[in-house]
Amino acid sequence: MQQRHMCKCAKVTFYEVEFKLSGMKVIPTHKNCGEGLNDDQFNSFEKELVKYWGFEQK
């Protein structure tokens, strides 16, 4: 099983995330370093995405 490297960048903005296919999985990846987002970064990205799409929870 291949170990996935995690992004160690201090801040990842909404526009710096791209999605890469790894086998049958889609991995959210930071464009600048090319590493997969860690859990905290992904949660932050998900909140920004929901807000951007207008589905903000009340």
pLDDT attached to residue 52: 85
Q: Can you give the pTM of this predicted structure?
A: 0.72
Residue 43: CB atoms within 10 A of its CB come to 11
pLDDT attached to residue 12: 86
- Which residues have CB under 8 Å from 52's CB, separation 6+? 14
Listed in order, strand segments (DSSP E) in the chain are 17-22, 25-30
List, for residues 1-58, the tens digit of each pLDDT value: 445 678 888 888 888 999 999 889 988 999 999 899 988 888 988 888 888 888 766 5
User: Contact 36/12 with Cβ under 8 angstroms?
Assistant: no
Provide the pairing of β-strand 17-22 with 25-30: antiparallel
Return the DSSP state at 31: T
6: β partners: 36
